[in-house]
Structure 1
Amino acid sequence: MKKIALILFIISDLAVLVSEFTGISWMYTIGKPLIMISLLLHYLLACEPINRSRALILAMVLSLAGDVLLMNEAYFIGGLVAFLAAHVFYIFAYRQHRREESENALLGLQRVRLAFPIILAGTGLVVVLYPVLGDLRLPVIIYASVLSLMAINALFRHGRTSTGSFWMVFGGAVLFMISDSILAVNKFLEPVQHAGFLIMSTYILAQYLIVNGLLNHPHE
């Protein structure tokens, strides 16, 4: 069953990415919701019931809701809110999947120094977009802040989990920021060539890495 879930995930990914180049709308309509459905199924089958994280499950369900809502421009704000909530639950999931005490954990100035590029990236995007956001300024600022906080919490797992788990989750969080940044620039600032493909490919890989990174956290 685990293999079936991953095969479904790969097929849905390919359907969405191919549709971005071919314009075949039914592939996108069917494939996009199946991305998170199949990934959630993969998580449930791969994780022992005792180790399942409700926060991670909620994050994936909210991501699914965001995916569906963003398929219609009229529900952009609804999609934004769904992904905002998903990032909050990802933060909770990250904190569940880390050791509380570790000699290699980031401390004090280390945290500030390593988190600074993430803060700079999130702030820089808002500064660039601010003049063209209009009534969406506050929602986008709040979203960018929570998105940056999600990536920072992924960073703060350093030394508190296995090396593989850390890099997968942190890499996924960074890719999530990249995906949302491309989406924002394309929507509000100027068209980005092959935007749909770039947004979805980075998003798909981000979700996969986050979920499998948390699956690889060594439970005691």
Structure 2
Amino acid sequence: MSSDAPDSSLTKSPAGFLYVLLIAATAVNLTANLIADVTLFRLDATLCPPDVTMCHPDLTPCHPEQAQPAGWVSWLIRISKPMLVPALAGILFLSTRGVASTIRRGSFYVALLFCWVGDIALLISTAVPSTEPDYFFFVGLGAFGVAHLFFIWSYAPRDKQELRWMSFVYGLPFVVYGYTLYSVIYHSLVEPKQHATVQALSIAGYMVVLLSNGVTALLRLRANTQIRESSASILAGVVLFVQSDSIIAITRYVSVMPLERFSIMATYILGLYLMVRGCFLEPREGQLSRPTAQPEARPETPPTMQAAA
């Protein structure tokens, strides 16, 4: 993660400390989630067999979140996860302070703040006894939904003339993907249960905002030809964010998956990092793409003046 940091951040404090903190928190979190996946997968499968909704569509879907890591593994997850977003925000601030950018960084910082709130809410959701509905889960869902709105505003193209109608056609894969995923989880959302309609509408609204973030990142890539690497990094990060949320939706409402906790956090952390990376690459790409000023040519001395001299 450190090779793209400007000004050799790893060798300087406090930026170097933040990179070390990010790498350490990532390693601890992913390791703890991997251990939880390996030790709890059989229990997850017992609580919710992968084919339960397919073979018995009339059964009320179960929730794999009932099997949660405990002991020191749980504490490692709870300690490391809240460190991730603050470390990324600090790295972004130290890498871009005093540098002009087309990205609205204030909005981006607010988005990271809501991501952190969502992380805390989801941690609480897994720590407290499960309820129906899971209020902390939907608090986290709402926080991430607001975060995506601020992400959209932070790097949406400023000049609407740069957008071409054909660019929106390239966003259709996000629409088709959202329709497909929602169709897969819809049966579990509308089962006869309390607050079923509110839950289904909440998930649908969040998916619209999430996929709009992906379309916005794609439009930025299409509109800004001089900052390709920055825009591509942001788009890749958003796509990984979408994948992380998709795994959450599948494992929560459809079936358990091998290494689900590890996969969710790995795609989430890498996605956020790539989005932050795109933010501090953008000013550097903008400077490199500007034409360098050519030195003014000195007027030649007329031959008559040279002879007189």
Corresponding residue for 1:76?
A: 137
Q: Which region of structure 1 is more displaced relative to structure 2, 147-156 or 120-129?
A: 120-129
CA distance in 2, matches of 1:71, 1:81: 14
1:81-112 superposed Cα distances (whole Å, 9 cap, x missing partner): 000000000001112xx56278xx5511x223
Corresponding residue for 1:127?
A: 183
Corresponding residue for 1:87?
A: 148
CA distance in 2, matches of 1:182, 1:175: 11
Confirm or deny that 1:192 pairs with 2:257. yes
CA distance in 2, matches of 1:101, 1:153: 12
Confirm or deny that 1:166 pairs with 2:226. no
1:161-210 superposed Cα distances (whole Å, 9 cap, x missing partner): 51110110000011011110001000011001110000000000000000
Corresponding residue for 1:6?
A: 19
Confirm or deny that 1:151 pairs with 2:214. yes
CA distance in 2, matches of 1:190, 1:106: 40
Deviation at 1:22, TM superposition (A): 2.5
Which amino acid counterpart does residue 159 of structure 2 have in structure 1?
E
Give structure 1 stretches of 5+ with no counterpart.
none
Confirm or deny that 1:205 pairs with 2:270. yes
3-state DSSP class of the match of 1:216?
A: helix
In the superposition, the TM-score normalised over structure 2's length comes to: 0.66
Higher helix fraction: Structure 1 or Structure 2?
A: 1
Corresponding residue for 2:130?
A: none
Q: CA RMSD in A?
A: 1.8
CA distance in 2, matches of 1:49, 1:127: 46
1:130-189 superposed Cα distances (whole Å, 9 cap, x missing partner): 111132100000000000000000000024151110110000011011110001000011
Count of equivalent residues: 215
Which amino acid counterpart does residue 167 of structure 2 have in structure 1?
R
CA distance in 2, matches of 1:101, 1:215: 23
Corresponding residue for 1:107?
A: 164
Give structure 2 stretches of 5+ with no counterpart.
1-13, 37-72, 126-133, 191-195, 288-309
User: 1, 9, 30: which is aligned to 1:17?
Assistant: 30
CA distance in 2, matches of 1:176, 1:147: 9
CA distance in 1, matches of 2:231, 2:94: 22
In the superposition, the TM-score normalised over structure 1's length comes to: 0.92
Which amino acid counterpart does residue 35 of structure 1 have in structure 2?
L
Deviation at 1:21, TM superposition (A): 2.2
Decide whether aligned partners of structure 1 residues 144 and 208 sit closer, same or farther in structure 2, where only a CA change above 3 A counts.
Answer: same
Identical amino acids, percent of aligned pairs: 29
CA distance in 2, matches of 1:173, 1:117: 14
CA distance in 1, matches of 2:273, 2:167: 26
User: 40, 48, 59: which is aligned to 2:89?
Assistant: 40
1:110-130 superposed Cα distances (whole Å, 9 cap, x missing partner): 223210101111111111111
3-state DSSP class of the match of 1:190?
A: coil
Larger gyration radius, structure 1 or structure 2: 2
CA distance in 2, matches of 1:61, 1:100: 27
Which amino acid counterpart does residue 84 of structure 1 have in structure 2?
G
CA distance in 2, matches of 1:128, 1:107: 33
